[in-house]
Amino acid sequence: MIFKHFLVPDYLLTFQCAMCAECCKLRWNIYFDPASVKKYHGFAAADEDFAALLKSGIAEKKDGGAFVQFRQGEQSTGAEAGCEKNVCPFLNIEGLCAIQKQYGVEALSDTCKIFPREITLTERGCEMALSYACPAAAATLKKREPIQFYQNPAGFNFFPINMQYGKIGNLMERQKVGKTNYFEVEELLIDIMQLRGLDIDIRLILTGMIVDKLKDGDLDGVRRYLRNIDESLISQFQKLSANPIFMLRFIKDVMDGIAGEERPGDMQKLLKLAHQQLKLLNEKVISDKMAKQVAEGYRQYYEPSLNEINHIYENYFVNFIFAKLFYTHKYLDAYFLMVFFYTLIRFFTVCTCMAEERQADEDMVVAVIHTIARGIGHNKSFYEDILKQIKQTNYHRLPYMISLINHP
């Protein structure tokens, strides 16, 4: 498909691939769409070397597409010491894609063209967000000015793709999924996230209150509610009790539910950090001592740096919303996912602060976000596992979510 109209955030306009090849070295399934596989067979007919690489490098499927057959790479060093990296067979010794080098970027499969972009076709045009599983994409979170969106920006275009994009239908199709006013809801949630006069935690709590009211479908009522919010209500939000033990139990329950699965080395490093600092994930009981350690770490290292990192979270949440998570999930479910990732990011950032005995900064928070996105957040089907864990452990209620947001 050749896109004619675009709606894109400004951070995507400035994004550039750093050619780090990290996306070619992960344990993800890389799918080649049928049109690309057909094209590659055409290349192979005239190129014996490429034919041999293609034969050993892909496993073809009945739909005409194929999955990449990863090969074992060299022994890793540094953060991933002791781990074997799975490497795309089309990645050459120069760290370049053999397909792109020989046949050009347009020869790439949809998967490789698109990543780290997340594309949705809507009646407004082709809309793009970013996956922070890519380190260069995660670096865009450092943008300090409020995110702006552009309709058909001058000079912007994108390669034709065959099939790998999401879709939001017309009004009639949106009615079927109960999201008639979806675009208005999305804009409203982004506006709330960019209310810089409010602390980021208050914005997230306010988002929860709004999302809870949206389940009745009364968008006008939500707007009236927003107009009536005053400082006294915000003060009540700020006074809602935090419960560090509950927060730690929540993290432990969810992480225990996904334990045993192989994770990239940097995610393993974060998990090991939690073990070293708190022994959190290998203890059956969350103790007062653990909760006190986290609270002290938060106050000593994390809280003093909030003004320097709030924009990171703002940008993260805006991208989360624009990536259509509130369309593909029930409104409250999408909100629970948002709070889950925020809780996890903040927790591991505090652990990192404690381990390194220094305050949080942009680079630290961005690194944690990238690690979590790369380790557990890149696969949208995995979100269903997270929601299942949240619901099985009875955390899927708004008061619980608010108690998680408030700092320890």
Angle between helix 306-322 and 200-214 (nearest 10): 30
Q: What is the DSSP letter of 376?
A: I
Amino acid at 373: A
The answer to whether residues 321 and 184 touch, using CB atoms and an 8 Å cutoff, is no
Q: What are the φ/ψ torsions at residue 363 (nearest 5 degrees)?
A: -60, -40
Res 29: pLDDT: 78
Residue 17: which of 115, 101, 91 has the closest Cα? 115
In this prediction the pTM is: 0.90
pLDDT score recorded for residue 304: 95
- Whole-angstrom Cα distance, residue 75 to residue 262? 17
Burial of 399 (C-beta count, 10 Å sphere; 0-12/13-18/19+): exposed
pLDDT at position 84, please?
A: 40
* Angle, helix 219-227 to helix 182-193, in steps of 10 degrees: 20
**Distance of alpha carbon 162 from alpha carbon 181, whole angstroms:** 29
Q: Give strand pairing partners of 248.
A: none
Contact (Cβ atoms closer than 8 angstroms) between residue 104 and residue 115: no
Please state whether beta strands 66-68 and 58-60 pair in parallel, antiparallel, or not at all (unpaired). Answer: antiparallel
Q: Cβ(247)–Cβ(343) under 8 Å?
A: yes
Residues of the chain with pLDDT under 50: 75-84
The string of pLDDT tens digits covering residues 365-380 is 999 999 999 888 776 7
Give the 3-state secondary structure of residue 149.
strand
Residue located via tokens 């050993």: 56
CA atoms within 13 A on the CB side of 181: 15
Neighbours of 58 (CB within 10 A): 20
Q: What is the pLDDT of residue 326?
A: 93
**Residue 211 and residue 398: Cα distance in Å, rounded?**
10
DSSP-derived 3-state class of residue 87: strand
Q: In this structure, which amino acid lies at residue 191? A: D
149/155 Cα distance (integer angstroms) = 15
Give me the pLDDT at residue 264, please.
60
192 and 174 Cβ atoms separated by less than 8 Å: no
Instruction: Judge contact between 144 and 31, C-beta under 8 A.
Output: no
Contact call for residues 118 and 41 (beta carbons, < 8 A): no
177's CB contacts (< 8 A; 6+ apart) are 327
The CA distance from 156 to 11, in Å, is 13
Tokens 């700020």: give the residue.
238
Q: Mind listing the pLDDT tens digit for each residue in 273-309? A: 777 777 665 666 777 888 888 889 999 999 999 999 9
Q: Bridge partners of 57? A: none
Q: What Rg do the C-alpha atoms of the chain give, in angstroms?
A: 22
Per-residue exposure over 37-49, b if at least 16 CB sit within 10 Å of its own CB, e if not: bebbeebbeeeee
